[in-house]
Amino acid sequence: MAKRRPAGRPGRERHGLVLSLIVFCLIIISGRLVYLQVHAAPAFAEKAQSQRTRDIEIAPKRGTIYDRDGDLLAVSREARTIYASPRFVTDATGTAEAFSRVLGGEPATYAERLQRDSGFVYIARKVDVEHAEAIESLGLSGVGMLKDSRRTYPSGELAAQVLGFVGIDDVGLGGLEQYYDSVLAGEPGSVLAERDPFGRPIPGGVIHYEDPVNGDDIMLTIDKDIQHTAQVALQQAVEKWSAAAGSVIVMDPRNGEILAMASVPGFNPNRFADADSVAYRNRPVTDVYEPGSTFKSIIAAAVIDAGLFEPDSMFELPPTLQVGGRRIKEAHPRSTVHWTLTQIVTNSSNVGAVKLGMALGKQPLYDYLDRFGFTERTGIDFPGEAVGHLPPVQQWSATSIANIPFGQGVSMTSLQLARALSAIANGGELVTPHFLLQAPEGSGTETRWPKRRAISEEAALATREVMKAVVTEGTGGAAAVEGYEVAGKTGTAQKARTDGRGYAGGKYIGSFSGFLPADDPQVLVIVIIDEPKGAIYGGVVAAPVFSEVAMFAVSHLRIPPTSIQPAQGPDGETATSAQTP
């Protein structure tokens, strides 16, 4: 007989299985709890905090830019940034219409932002406080605002190309705003704040707050009054001669401090987006051109410094000169003359300038132009500085020695020319043009501006005498300033073609460059009139601007007049030409 299984055994097996399942589930649950409470807890806590908090950047106040007398040129005013949390906006259509009424713009534009699947959208940035308060008073759900600042330029177009402008994020996008952005910008702060389900800050709910570090202020060498005079005089000249453009530099030749720098056409940096980008160009720094007859003063300084000639050295000058298959001629026909070096410059003789250059020789001529800084940038504290073109001697053609001495076949910026002429004005030292006058200690900003010797003091003094005669006896009579001796040089240069070799027919640049008082130069002015119509000569279109700007500058700076007043000379100027008849 088979044995019977003990009663109750199947029950015990089922109980054991159920117990095992319970134990297994408890292990799984315990493991999950350990994972959630130990390993995943930080992540969940961070997610929970992100849902109820927002990390908001606090913009710093950008540093102020002053002129040399402490007048405001660029300053940041208090403003607001308006934002919205679309998920908490209860009436997108009505809210959009409210924005349109107060801030301007189309309701549809705001409505599109308010309907985005996002927890944060910008509605308007850099809003003036009055309009921001009007929005705040409406109590719109899901709408908030942050403290901000708005860059403004109190004098509008004054020194616009020099100052530049900043973008919506307060980053410098041009001019000194860009060059000194690291000094002016400061460091943003932040606030980590708790918010309710409607996106509104919870009172007392700030978890962390870090103050922004405001930007540093800087003071420029620019003189606001001289800058205004230069801009007005330049604008009037460009309009009078229907010119394409123009520029003016006013600089202290003793140390390179730029007192004014103007360019036409101009723009208003408060509304820079409305301007054509061509107006942004700070032409004395960014535009290169062939200098024409202005270059003759540099050649005169070189031959004097080399000991080859003196201001009264005599030359026999034929009507034309054949060099390397090209005939050099004057702009106005003449017979053979016997002129001194001074008269060559005074009468702006192309033939005479070529004779001076040939007497110097190719390599020495190149070396002197290098010493005057025409092979390098000036080192100015400004972005995007261009450098002209002076080919090495190995690349000179047979006629280069006949073109370069009167300013053809070589290009430069007017700032490079200002730097070179400063060496003649200050006794032979090449200065570094610059805009920065003062910056806070510890800002890491360089305020030392190097100098180096270009020519001897004796050569500089002698060349100044030559340049004085240009105004008293020669082509620069219209540059005279009553009560002061002026040293200068007119220039009338053909414009090189931009679409090939050679020169553009009928297009010229008229210029005048000079300094005063001639025996103790403290103000240097360069005027460029690009493509004037009705007259082309620098002595006609540019010299009067020099006179107006220089007269104001010496009066404004209280520079005593000289005892001898210059006599008025003729207005004309010989245009450079190297064409074979």
Is 228 found in the same domain as 113? no
Rounded to whole angstroms, how far apart are CA atoms 511 and 265?
A: 17
Is 179 found in the same domain as 298? no
Is 272 found in the same domain as 162? no
Domain assignment present for residue 580? The answer is: no
> Lowest-pLDDT range, 1-5, 135-139, 574-578?
574-578
544 compared with 78, residue with greater pLDDT: 544
Q: Is the pLDDT of residue 574 over 50?
A: no
Is 555 among the catalytic positions?
Answer: no
Is 153 found in the same domain as 292? no
CATH of residue 64: 3.90.1310.10
Is 415 found in the same domain as 319? yes
Q: What pLDDT score does 372 carry?
A: 97
Confidence of residue 36 (pLDDT cuts 50, 70, 90): low
Domain assignment present for residue 374? The answer is: yes
Mean pLDDT of the chain: 87
What is the per-residue pLDDT across 556-566, written as a single tens digit (0 to 9) for each? 999 999 865 44
Please list, in sequence order, all residues whose beta carbon lies within 8 angstroms of the beta carbon of residue 387, skipping any fewer than 6 positions away: 288, 375, 376, 377, 413, 416
Domain assignment present for residue 162? The answer is: yes
Confidence of residue 38 (pLDDT cuts 50, 70, 90): low
Range of the domain at 257: 224-436+449-556
Catalytic site residue from 149, 155, 247, 293: 293
Is 232 found in the same domain as 123? no
Is 371 found in the same domain as 418? yes
Q: Is the pLDDT of residue 550 over 60?
A: yes
What domain count does the chain have? 2
Contact present, 144 and 88 (Cβ < 8 Å): no
Rounded to whole angstroms, how far apart are CA atoms 195 and 314?
A: 89
Q: Is the pLDDT of residue 331 over 60?
A: yes
Domain assignment present for residue 429? The answer is: yes
Q: Is the pLDDT of residue 286 over 60?
A: yes
What is the per-residue pLDDT across 164-187, written as a single tens digit (0 to 9) for each? 999 988 899 999 999 999 999 988
What's at 109, amino acid-wise?
Answer: T
Rounded to whole angstroms, how far apart are CA atoms 560 and 537?
A: 31
Within 10 A of 556 (CB to CB), how many other CB atoms are there?
Answer: 14
Rounded to whole angstroms, how far apart are CA atoms 432 and 429?
A: 10
CATH of residue 498: 3.40.710.10
Considering just the CA atoms, what is the radius of gyration of the chain in Å?
36
Is 142 found in the same domain as 259? no
Is 511 found in the same domain as 423? yes
Q: What pLDDT score does 45 carry?
A: 57
Domain assignment present for residue 36? The answer is: no
Is 491 found in the same domain as 401? yes
Backbone angles phi, psi at 178, to 5 degrees: -80, -45
What is the per-residue pLDDT across 392-433, written as a single tens digit (0 to 9) for each? 999 998 889 999 999 988 999 999 999 999 999 999 999 999
Give the pLDDT mean for 364-380: 97
Is 141 found in the same domain as 253? no
Q: Residue 119: which of 86, 82, 90 has the closest Cα? A: 86
Is 236 found in the same domain as 106? no
Q: Is the pLDDT of residue 202 over 70?
A: no
- Exposed, middle or buried, 406 (CB in 10 Å: 0-12/13-18/19+)? buried
Confidence of residue 504 (pLDDT cuts 50, 70, 90): confident
Confidence of residue 207 (pLDDT cuts 50, 70, 90): low
Contact present, 572 and 539 (Cβ < 8 Å): yes
Confidence of residue 520 (pLDDT cuts 50, 70, 90): very high
438 compared with 8, residue with greater pLDDT: 438
pTM of the model: 0.84
Work out the end-to-end distance of the chain between its first and last CA atoms, rounded to an integer number of angstroms. 145
